[in-house]
Structure 1
Amino acid sequence: MLGVDDVAARLGSIGFRCRGCGACCRRVAEDSNLVLVSPAEVRAIMAATGMAWDKVAEPYPDFIDTGNGGKYTLAWCLRRTADACIFLRDGRCSIYAHRPWICRTYPFMLVDDDLGVSECPGLGAPLSPCDARDAAADLCRRQAAEAVEESGIRAVFHEASVPPGKRAVIDSEGVKVLDG
């Protein structure tokens, strides 16, 4: 696993400054703005907005057949309209202070010992050592949070049962059977 100093050095060499364009929040290709969220992130957004779970999050769109007519997926995503995240309003994030890890750290992500970089117009802009370190710390915290969520999903999955003919999301909190 990469340390904060290693990640900060890489971020500094790439450079980044958010332009506030909102392109990352808009759908430019199928599932281009798919934002995975953990149950804890959904609950934080619910607390901040007063919205219900099903108004904040939708199941990850790829379902796996159980063989008994049931289907499951292993993740939640922020809800979207036909062209953008539901929280993009007037070109700005309406839940900015409560935005999920994926949004906080975009366009970067840590995958094992590698730094992934998504396409973004803000890449290449000068990044101060202090800002690089802050961003690196966020990336490391995100990676740790994702590892905890994945471990939780694995633990639940081994005991999970999806009712015949139903669709469900299996997350770190359990099996959530979907309506309809």
Structure 2
Amino acid sequence: MLGVDEIAERLGSIGFCCRECGRCCQRVGEDSNLVLVGAAELREIMAATGMKREEIVEPYPEFIRAGNGGEYTLAWCLRRTLDACIFLKDGRCSIYEHRPWICRTYPFMLVDDDLIISECPGLGASISPSAARDAAADLCRRQAAEAEEEAEIREIFRETEIPPGKRVVIDSEGMKVLDG
């Protein structure tokens, strides 16, 4: 697993400075701005906004058949308009202090021992060693949070029976049966 110092060094050589352009929040393709959120992130956004779960998230769009007519998915995504994330207001994130890990660490992501870099106009800009270290620490925290979320979902999935004919989301807090 990559450590903070190694990641910070790589980020320093790549360079990055967020331009606050909001492009990462805008839809340019079918799922180009699909933002997965964990249960804890969702609770934080709910507390900060006073909004209900169904106002903030929608089920991850790919469902798996359970064999009894039921279907399940294992993630939530922030709701989107036809153009952008619902929290992009006047070109800015309206939940910036409570934004999910995926937004907080964009355009970077850790997958095992690989640093994945998404397209972003801020790449190549000068980054201070302390900013690179902060970003690297966030990437490590994100990776740990996602691993914990996945482990909890796996455990809940093992103990869960999908209701026949229903669509559900299984997250780290349990199974949620969807209306309709």
Residue aligned with 1:158, SS: helix
1:21 match: 21
What TM-score comes out, normalization by structure 2 length?
A: 0.99
Residue aligned with 1:122, SS: coil
2:115 match: 115
Deviation for aligned residue 1:68? 1.1
Structure 1 stretches lacking a partner, 5+ long = none
What TM-score comes out, normalization by structure 1 length?
A: 0.99
- Are the aligned partners of 1:161 and 1:175 in contact in 2 as well (CA < 8 Å)? no
1:78 match: 78
Structure 2 stretches lacking a partner, 5+ long = none
Residue aligned with 2:159, SS: coil
User: Quick one: distance in 2 between partners of 1:40 and 1:104?
Assistant: 15
1:121-177 Cα offsets, whole Å, 9 max, x none, are 110001110100000000000000000000001100101111111100011111111
For the aligned residue pairs, the C-alpha RMSD in angstroms reads: 0.5
Deviation for aligned residue 1:47? 0.2
User: Quick one: distance in 1 between partners of 2:71 and 2:99?
Assistant: 29
- Are the aligned partners of 1:162 and 1:177 in contact in 2 as well (CA < 8 Å)? no
Residue aligned with 2:5, SS: helix
User: Quick one: distance in 1 between partners of 2:135 and 2:163?
Assistant: 42
User: Quick one: distance in 1 between partners of 2:29 and 2:106?
Assistant: 17
2:99 match: 99
1:66-124 Cα offsets, whole Å, 9 max, x none, are 11111000000111111100000000000000000000000000000110000001100
Identity over aligned pairs, percent? 77
